[in-house]
Structure 1
Amino acid sequence: MELYNKYFMKQKMMRTLLKTLVIILIFSIYFQGLRVLALTFVNVLAACIVEFIFEKKINKKTKISEAAIVTAILYTFTLPVSLPFWISIVGIIVGIFFGKMVFGGFGRNIFNPALVGRAFIYINFPQQLTIFWNETAKLGDFPGGFTKWIYPILDQNTAATPMIDYKASGVLPKLQDLLIGDISGVIGETSKILIIILAIYLVYKKVASWEIMVGSAIGFTALSYILIALGFEEVMNPLYGMLVGGFLLGTCFMATDPISAAKTPTGKWLYGIIVGIVTVIIRSFALFAGGMMFAILIGNTFAPIIDYTVKYFKSRKKEVKA
């Protein structure tokens, strides 16, 4: 513990977030195998090394933010369990360095660093990120992945993730399977019920913004129903849409990042709505099966503009009243 305190900054908010991420990690190991733990470990190690070197050389500090651990775990949750370790390490290095440290370190980044890393490898290694998926344990198969390194790769001709299946054939899994989490997908696509419960806990602890979460759901649902009413068959029913892919994980744990998200009360609503709307557009009309990652990064781009605009109109309103 002394060694840990020597090299890491204590961040109360990050520690609260870490507790919830560890719970998701345990469930992910059960469903997908011990390789989840190994992948998480190498990503956390790489993230801490990169941040330590940067802080020591540039900011003349010798402590790593606990946010680096959070970033590495969230990044891991966006990956398929079979991803080669070296590709995973490349991604987290890019995410920490170009998504965070080049802006000056903790608290100064514009974009969510976990998603910067994921976007980089998604674009450069599309096959490894979109083609190879593995079977998962079922809820009653205890001890499940706790005694397996990894489950077999799915037959690419007959099965894939729910998002890819829907894109290809319009077929959706059972609602029960989506809620429980025993479906193929990225590591963090575990039990949706669990994610919702942990999101409520984060809101209770004032670690995550409920305005952003609800705003994302409103934007996603509203545009989905509008497009469905206009006859666009490629648009998924919003209830299923929020349960497949990374929508819930992204909304609750990444879009709510206090550094890269909007910070004004009104801005949080607008930011969340933008994330939800962009997710529907990308999923429905782009080549990508998912869209949450790019939607959040686009939301990050607009967050400072949203806050500036909200503050501007608020100050103008006060001047008019005066």
Structure 2
Amino acid sequence: MKQNEKRFEALVENGADCVIIISPEAETTYVSSSIKNMLGYTPKEVMDMEIWSLVHPDDQAASGEAINICMQKPGVPVQGHTSRIRHKDGSWRWVEAVVTNLIHDPAINGIVDNFRDITDRVHAEEELKMTNDRFLLAARGSKLGIWDRDLINNTLIWDDTMYKVYGVSNLYFEVTPESWISLVHPEDHQMIANNIENIKPSVNEVDMEYRIIHPDSTIRHIRSLSLVQRDETGKPIRLVGTNLDITDNREYQLTLEQILFDISHIIRKPVTNIMGLSNLIDMENLDEATLKQLAVYMKSSVKELNDFTIQLTHTYLSKKVSFEQVLKKGK
């Protein structure tokens, strides 16, 4: 028995969690020394104060309810209760507690409150919620589809816009991670898997571009941006993100690249000729016949340049593409 007690004390005293035991008379009978690292108080300081004075006023009712439930279930741990506890420096720390009624156990004769500091996790969740709210605000009235993927339970949720982005009906298409990947171009499957499965600890956003295939076999290009939510150990547990169809932008980009290619390759010859002829004209002691011949060459090069400009204009006008629009979209 004594050996078990020593083992228990060693676990409690050296663990990250704090343990407080409250007697049936609501007196604090035990406080683990780990309280010092968590809240700044020594065990004696906590023993000498009224324990409820440490609980945030807004959380006292819920904490009392957890104790009431605990009293009705002797020996059964009541888990998941969270509240704010005042640190010695005056700040508030979020804690998550498991309370167990062990009044019937003569060795304990009290309610065991085992709690841990989850302040960092709460702040991270609050920050994520604020970011999610910004996501939703940005998506209103736009063509952004919003999705939410639970990496632990392997579930996926879409908003209405996501169905439109993927060209499927929300009446017939059942959204799961597996059904979603079935709509993605097979050549992009491995890239997506690598991005999701190998999220580095320092990464808070996942930014991807991939192709999807609509039911009519057309291929669309998707920009996916998501935020990473992690548990207290840093493990990714959830992704919340957006999808945007960027197919038109990519087509504009390809058109711009083709225009730039045409300009750089086709226009180079007449421009080079004109520059060379200009240099010759600047030379001294050229007779009239030579100047006339240079003028003929100059006119020919200018005509070639003009013909190319007309050809380029007709080519892209026939595609109903505005050069100015191409430049704007291509940036």
* TM-score normalised according to structure 1 size: 0.24
Bigger share in strand: 2
Between the two structures, name the one with larger relative contact order (CA 8 Å, sep ≥ 6).
Answer: 1
* TM-score normalised according to structure 2 size: 0.24
